[in-house]
Chain A
Amino acid sequence: MGIVKIHSISKKILVALLGVFLSIFLFFHAAANMCILRHDGGVWYNDFCDFMGTNYLVKVMEVVLLGSFICHIILTVWLTIENKMARPQGYHKPQRSKTHTGSKLQVWTGILILACLFCHFMDFYFVKLGLVDGNLNFYDQAHEKFQITHIAVAYLVFFVVVWFHMRHGFAAMFQTLGLYNYKYGRVLEVLGAIYAWVVCLMFASVVIGVYFGF
């Protein structure tokens, strides 16, 4: 870690900005997913997938996205290691201060998201890349998977975890970027929470919609 020197606050700012970028991506991802709910045999959705698979700009963005994702993880791991090192000997009595729990869960929700994401990629993304065999018609693939109860439930749990991660992430982002103040700090936090709700509900609606065949 000594080779690259980034000041603590700068690291956090990077994490926050990358988080915002990833959240924006999630919104577009969710919006695209909503196409699945159209009863058009996957015309819109598969068209969209085609576009995503062939457009060069999208390909560049894909690399950027992947890079952001990896940086987000590396930076948070780096921060976490530093944080552990800042207190070599812990307390005997567990902390009883009134705190925001989201922050303590953030690392764990992050790890969970990473694990879930791997499974999710096994079904979709890796198939597209040709790393795994599977149905390349993602519209069918989605209908097939989401009608299996345990997969649908697993995805819903995944979205809850994402919601947790995003909700705290947004609140923390405003603080880290210095936007949280006496006047409109709370308002920003509420807006962040609404965004997290919207994105996660969009995702969930697709799974629920497909499962119940709406």
Chain B
Amino acid sequence: MRFILHIWRQENAHVKGHFETYPIDNISPDCSFLEMLDILNESLINDRIAHPVCFDNDCREGICGMCGLYINGRPHGNDDGITTCQLHMRKFKDGDEIWIEPWRAKAFPVIRDLVVDRSAFDKIIQAGGYISTTTGGVPDANAIPVNKHKADMAMDAAACIGCGACVAACKNASAMLFVGAKVSHLALLPQGKVEAMDRVRSMVAKMDELGFGNCTNTYACEAECPKLIKRQNISRLNRQWIGSLFGRDKK
């Protein structure tokens, strides 16, 4: 297969970027999208045309959350429930023009080419996206039974890989699905309920502070989430937030 690639090139965070066009040929339909970029890079190096395109990637099996490209108007490309590394070239038509852009958000500044800085997500988690335990001194694992449905719902929310596709897809660059997923995961479990109010307060405050936009209920995040995390989690986040406004343990 052959394609015409338009790729965002930007040398570092401080200079302006632009699109470059690279035609590419002889791509197998079974090739993954990132493998196609590998082939492009190989040719850029061998023919010494340009510096190879930088893009984040690691596990290449859709779980680490490292990869993330905005491909032809959709984060992770034109398929549902996958990450960029799981996108295969058979999803494109021969001769397609492919526009490849980095995630765009104030909170995710571009570092180089298609690589963005997602440390904002880490900061949100550090604000309270955990259960405060220290190692040791915890009860037996079966001491507190957990309703199976709730445990399953918690698992579905916890499946978030922190790739940032929700932010990239949202017209407002809102991180509500990311925060909602973490808040839901922990609030659904009895272990997480203890500090649920403090958690939601500090995580939302941090999210606002980092410059993410507001949710306007477009649900592009839900449509693009590679782990199919549902918007019900955003609703639960809102519910938790309202609860925290009236909560007694307010600092």
A54 within 8 A of B: no
Which residues of chain B from 1 to 51 have any CB-CB distance to chain A below 8 Å in the complex?
6, 8, 19
B219 pairs with A10, CB closer than 8 A: no
A39 within 8 Å of B by Cβ? no
**B213 near A177 (CB under 8 angstroms)?**
no
Report A68 CB to chain B, min CB distance, Å: 19
Chain A: interface residue total (CB-CB under 8 A): 42
Interface residues on B, range: 35 or more
Q: How many A-B residue pairs have C-beta atoms within 8 angstroms? Tell me.
A: 142
Residue in contact with B173 in the complex, picked from A9, A87, A98, A168, CB distance below 8 Å:
A87
Interface set, chain A 158-175, CB cutoff 8 A to B: 168, 171-172, 174-175
A13 touching B171 by the CB < 8 A rule?
Answer: no
Among the stretches B55-63, B87-95, B121-129, B236-244, the one at the interface with A is B236-244
Residue in A87, A93, A106, A168 with the greatest tally of chain B CB atoms within 10 Å? A87
- Please, how many angstroms separate the alpha-carbon atoms of A12 and B234 in the complex? 13
> Counting CB contacts under 8 A, is B181 at the interface?
no
User: How far is B73's CA from A195's CA once the two chains are assembled, in angstroms?
Assistant: 35
Which of B99, B204, B217, B230 touches A172 (beta carbons < 8 Å)? B217
Binding site for B on A (CB under 8 A): 7-13, 79, 82-83, 85-100, 103-104, 106, 168, 171-172, 174-182, 185
5 A-B contacts, Cβ less than 8 Å apart?
Answer: A91-B101, A92-B101, A93-B72, A175-B234, A182-B153
Measuring CB to CB, which residues of chain B are less than 8 angstroms from any residue of chain A? 6, 8, 19, 70, 72-75, 78, 99, 101, 104-107, 153, 169, 171-174, 204-205, 207-208, 211-220, 223-224, 230-232, 234-242, 245
